[in-house]
Amino acid sequence: IYRHALRNALIPVVTILGLSLGLIVTGTFFLEEFFNIPGIGETTLQATQYRDYPVIQATAVLLAVAVVIGNLISDILYTLVDPRIKAS
């Protein structure tokens, strides 16, 4: 079963896992505000209220890096799951 079905079935799962890392980081902003947990979400909200642009830019860069790392991990997992997919 692994040889024929699981490899082909894991390709969409790896895609979703890679893309969901950015959504997880974004979701922490909402959870921190909802449950009143101090963290990056609260810091970003305060930065937007006080127009602290360097903090807003740093948060945007952090989110972009999380998305890039998620895509990199999913690309590496593609080659591990299905060796027919080669990095070129």
How many Å apart are CA 76 and CA 88, to the nearest integer? 12
Concatenating the DSSP letter of every residue in 4-32 gives: IIIHHHHHHHHHHHHHHHHHHHHHHHHHH
- Residue 2 domain flag: no
The tally of domains found in the chain comes to: 1
Task: Output the pTM of the full model.
Answer: 0.76
| Residue 31 maps to a domain | yes
Q: Determine the pLDDT at residue 58.
A: 95
Over the chain (88 residues), the average pLDDT of each successive run of 10 is 77 84 82 88 91 95 88 86 73
Would you say residue 57 lies in a domain?
Answer: yes
Q: Is residue 11 part of a domain?
A: no
Amino acid making up residue 86 = K
Task: Give the per-residue pLDDT at 81.
Answer: 82
- Residue 54's domain comprises 19-81
| pLDDT value of residue 49 | 95
pLDDT value of residue 46: 92
Nearest one of 25, 18, 26, 32 to 71, comparing CA atoms:
18
